[in-house]
């Protein structure tokens, strides 16, 4: 475990999956979910090069089927520490034999966690070291503590979008395949999602694609304190484990989507995927700021 302390804030980063396991802001509040294995043992996994389960367990690349695991393989692999400074750490993943058995490209995935004035930033850089075009999806899956103070409830909080939205979100079936669409009530301002455990028990996950917003605020309804999550990716998932009534909410920026029930299975047909040319790199990420 890599531990960094900077100006009163603390972060802990695991080499396994380059996952942030803890972030305590300078006000002393733990901002990342504890990772209780009785509920959800992860805290902020990196999703690469796919998201969620694959249709029939495989994806077709260059005419061949590849069995990439759920949410990709990055979360299961040991990263190498490649840079460390006073206020940041970078870990890198390159292919090993296990990865080559499920994904046929040479690449480097760099994950940087950095303290910011109000919180932290996580950035991903993907390098295509293959001699041909490389398709992939990448995303974050951070779980944030909610409620954030003693005496508060999960339902005391709401999610406020930066801009007005139409509320449309994608629905997954029992096989975790996107199979429909629904419209969430975002209130009179068309920006506010009320948090209710019963909605997650029914939906599992809100998946918003093509948003106008590039940030959301998870804040207490009454006093407005909380966090802002900013991102530069095309989709956003909102999730807490159904049936657990757990004290966290995942706010997940994704560059890509889970499979559709009627998709072809070809990687190049996946919405929002990146097709990186040989020798090129791609960067994206998200930031958490205490409000």
For tokens 């980063």, what's the residue?
13
Of 2.40.37.10, 2.70.98.10, 3.30.1330.10, 1.10.150.20, which CATH number belongs to 2-290? 2.70.98.10
The pLDDT of residue 145: 97
CA distance 95 to 108: 8
pLDDT at residue 63, rounded to an integer: 92
Strand partners, 161: 216
10-residue mean pLDDT profile of the chain (291 residues): values are 97 98 97 96 97 91 93 96 97 97 97 97 98 96 96 96 96 89 94 96 94 97 94 96 96 96 92 96 98 95
> Domain residues of the chain, as ranges?
2-290
Answer yes or no: are the C-beta atoms of 207 and 193 closer than 8 Å. no
How far, in Å, CA of 196 to CA of 194, rounded?
A: 6
* The predicted structure's pLDDT at residue 4: 97
pTM above 0.85, yes or no: yes
Q: Write down the pLDDT at residue 199.
A: 95
pLDDT value for 38: 95
Backbone dihedral angles phi then psi of residue 156, each to the nearest 5 degrees: -75, -10
Structure confidence at residue 224 (pLDDT): 87
pLDDT score of 244:
95
**Nearest by Cα to 254 from 124, 74, 114, 94:** 124
């Amino acid at each position: 475990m890599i531990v960094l302390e900077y100006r009163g804030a603390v972060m802990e980063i695991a080499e396994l999956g380059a996952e942030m396991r803890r972030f305590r802001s300078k006000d002393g509040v733990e901002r990342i979910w504890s990772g209780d294995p009785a509920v959800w043992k992860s805290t902020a996994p990196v999703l690469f090069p796919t998201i969620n389960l694959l249709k029939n367990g495989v994806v077709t690349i260059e005419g061949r089927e590849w069995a990439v695991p759920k949410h990709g393989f990055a979360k299961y692999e040991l990263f190498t520490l490649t840079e460390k400074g006073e206020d940041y750490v970078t870990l890198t993943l390159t292919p090993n034999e296990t990865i080559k058995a499920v994904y046929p490209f040479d690449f480097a995935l760099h994950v940087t966690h950095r303290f910011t004035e109000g919180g932290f930033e996580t950035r991903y850089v993907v390098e295509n070291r293959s001699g041909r075009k490389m398709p992939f999806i990448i995303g974050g899956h951070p779980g944030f503590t909610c409620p954030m103070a003693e005496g508060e409830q999960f339902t005391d909080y709401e999610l406020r979008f930066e801009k007005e939205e139409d509320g449309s979100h994608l629905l997954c079936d029992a096989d975790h395949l996107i199979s429909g669409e629904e419209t969430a009530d975002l209130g009179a301002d068309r920006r506010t999602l009320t948090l209710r455990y019963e909605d997650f028990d029914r939906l599992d996950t809100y998946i918003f694609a093509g948003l106008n917003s590039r940030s959301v605020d998870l804040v207490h309804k009454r006093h407005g304190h909380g966090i802002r999550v900013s991102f530069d990716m095309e989709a956003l998932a909102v999730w807490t484990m159904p049936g657990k009534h757990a004290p966290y909410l995942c706010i997940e920026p994704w560059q890509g989507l889970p499979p559709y029930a009627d998709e072809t299975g070809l990687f190049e047909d996946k919405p929002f995927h990146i097709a990186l040319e040989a020798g090129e790199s791609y960067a994206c990420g998200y930031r958490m700021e205490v409000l």
